[in-house]
Structure 1
């Protein structure tokens, strides 16, 4: 049985931070008084890396001076979770309102949230805040990071397929990725990540569809899901926690990880055609590698991913839902088959396949 993904709702954080502001902050806070020439050499490299991110500005839940303070892991984690929860509640309520649903109409909730540790998780908090049924099915996902949104769609599809009468599943993804910004870090990777990420939440309703009434719906209808933990790829990029908080790190092999994973994706697709794609905007190269690997035109079919990256930064697990939101605003032709794909630490891939109704 297929499932319908409603138009996602994205809630961006409050504080708009430009890449120019971040570059000036790095310039002002990374000084080597004993060797001024070292400043120039390092800054030239760092600025090039930051400008190559493809991000013009991003939105953070806290202003730049607060984000860059060394607050310690406990305070950072608490702040990051509370901010993610507030964004998640906003996005989820918007998704319910757009769908015309009451909280009691939802049968299951799938959440993804990686950027702070908490027990109970995002799912339990949202049940209370949104007034969902206390007996609702819960599928909380953690540590997925950038692949969280696509994984959540796979789980929602599987849940609806397991129920003959269908079901309504609320998917909510929230990340406060600004928490990985640490002023003391001075590696090339840290400069890339501090420029790349934004804070947000995104939510959508996934509804089981009877084939008889599929033609009455508008939007994205999915029929199949895919998950991959690519062999021997845990050295691509990963997260770590220390006394200062959460960090992301990677090797140079991370840049080609999405391209290396594409043969697995095309094997899954088989002879099925792809006429549009929503690709996780993890960076300009990731977008273009995947779009080209699917046999599509990067300018035409990668435009929503590039626009999301430029305007919001990489939103982690919420990013692919923001790309789908933009696809709803400029939809493919009715009946056009396509796929949504996202990539996460591990190196992992999650995707769904379907067609535009």
Structure 2
């Protein structure tokens, strides 16, 4: 049984931070060890990496001076979760409003959140904040990071498929990725990540399709999900935590990880047609490798991913929802078949296949 993904709603954080502002901050902060009147000797390399990120601006839940303060893991985690929760509530309420549903109409909630530690997590907090039924089914996902949005859609699809009468599932993904910015870090990878990420939440309602509501649903209809933990790939990128907070790190192998995963994706797709694709905007190379690997045109079929990356940065698990939102605004032709794909630490892949109604 297929399911309908409603037009996602995205809640961006409050503070707009341009890449130019970040570069100037780095230039002013890190000075040459032998001559403090000059920029750091690696500044030219850092600036090139930051500008090659494909991000022109991103939105953070706190100002640049606040983000760069070494406040310690406890305060940093508390801020990150509270900010993510506020964004999640906003996006979820908008998604309910767009779907024309009351909180009591929702049968299950799937959440994904990685950038701070909290027990209970988003699911329990949102039940209270949104007024969802206390007996609602809960599927809280953690540590998925950038693949969280697509993975949540797969779980929502599976939930609806197990209920022939049709179910309504609220999917909510929130990440405050600015929390990984640490002033003391001066590696090339840290310069890339501090430039790449933005804070946001995304939400949508996934509705099981049955005979009574099939004619009323327009937009993205999915009927198959995909999950991959690519063999021998844990060296691509990962997260760690210390007394300062959460960190992301990676090796050079991360750059080719999406392309390396494509044979598995193609095996899943088989002979099915791919006329459109919503690809996680993890970076310019990820977008282009996947779009080209699927036999599509990067300029045409990768434009929503590239625009999302440029305007908002990599939003982690919510990013693929932002790409789908943009696809709703410029939809493929009715009946066009395609896939949503996202990539996360591990190296993992999650995807959904369907058609446009």
TM-score relative to the length of structure 1: 0.98
Corresponding residue for residue 29 of structure 2: 29
Structure 1 segments, 4+ long, off by >6 Å, are none
CA distance in 2, matches of 1:189, 1:33: 20
- When residues 263 and 127 of structure 1 are mapped into structure 2, their CA distance, relative to the original with a 3 A threshold, is same
Q: Counterpart of 2:42 in 1: which secondary structure?
A: helix
Corresponding residue for residue 261 of structure 1: 261
- Displacement of 1:323 in angstroms is 0.3
CA distance in 2, matches of 1:124, 1:235: 33
Corresponding residue for residue 111 of structure 2: 111
CA distance in 1, matches of 2:37, 2:43: 10
Corresponding residue for residue 9 of structure 2: 9
Q: In the alignment, does 2:304 pair up with 1:304?
A: yes
- For residues 176-325 of structure 1, the aligned pairs below 5 Å read 176-210=176-210, 213-325=213-325
Question: Cα RMSD between the aligned structures?
Answer: 1.1
CA distance in 2, matches of 1:184, 1:129: 37
- On the 8 A contact 1:2/1:211 being kept in 2, the answer is no
Q: Deviations over 1:289-327 (max 9, x none)?
A: 000000000000000000000000000000000000000
Corresponding residue for residue 66 of structure 2: 66
CA distance in 1, matches of 2:275, 2:258: 19
- On the 8 A contact 1:11/1:88 being kept in 2, the answer is yes
CA distance in 1, matches of 2:213, 2:96: 21
CA distance in 1, matches of 2:338, 2:302: 13
- Displacement of 1:215 in angstroms is 4.0
CA distance in 2, matches of 1:217, 1:125: 30
CA distance in 2, matches of 1:7, 1:283: 23
Question: Tell me, which stretches of 5 or more residues in structure 2 are unaligned?
Answer: none
- Displacement of 1:41 in angstroms is 3.2
- Displacement of 1:40 in angstroms is 4.9
Q: In the alignment, does 2:320 pair up with 1:330?
A: no
CA distance in 1, matches of 2:334, 2:214: 12
- Displacement of 1:39 in angstroms is 3.9
CA distance in 2, matches of 1:211, 1:322: 29
- On the 8 A contact 2:202/2:322 being kept in 1, the answer is yes
Q: Counterpart of 2:342 in 1: which secondary structure?
A: strand
Corresponding residue for residue 45 of structure 2: 45
- On the 8 A contact 2:27/2:40 being kept in 1, the answer is no
CA distance in 1, matches of 2:60, 2:50: 17
Q: Deviations over 1:255-306 (max 9, x none)?
A: 0000000000000000001000000000000000000000000000000000
CA distance in 1, matches of 2:269, 2:215: 23
- For residues 72-87 of structure 1, the aligned pairs below 5 Å read 72-87=72-87
CA distance in 1, matches of 2:38, 2:240: 28
- On the 8 A contact 2:109/2:170 being kept in 1, the answer is yes
- How many pairs does the alignment contain? 357
- Displacement of 1:32 in angstroms is 3.0
TM-score relative to the length of structure 2: 0.98
Q: Counterpart of 1:247 in 2: which secondary structure?
A: strand
CA distance in 1, matches of 2:25, 2:113: 28
CA distance in 2, matches of 1:213, 1:313: 36
CA distance in 1, matches of 2:350, 2:298: 20
Corresponding residue for residue 346 of structure 1: 346
Question: Tell me, which stretches of 5 or more residues in structure 1 are unaligned?
Answer: none
- On the 8 A contact 1:147/1:350 being kept in 2, the answer is yes
CA distance in 2, matches of 1:143, 1:206: 22
CA distance in 2, matches of 1:142, 1:153: 14
Q: Deviations over 1:197-234 (max 9, x none)?
A: 00000000000002575343210000000000000000
Q: Counterpart of 2:84 in 1: which secondary structure?
A: helix
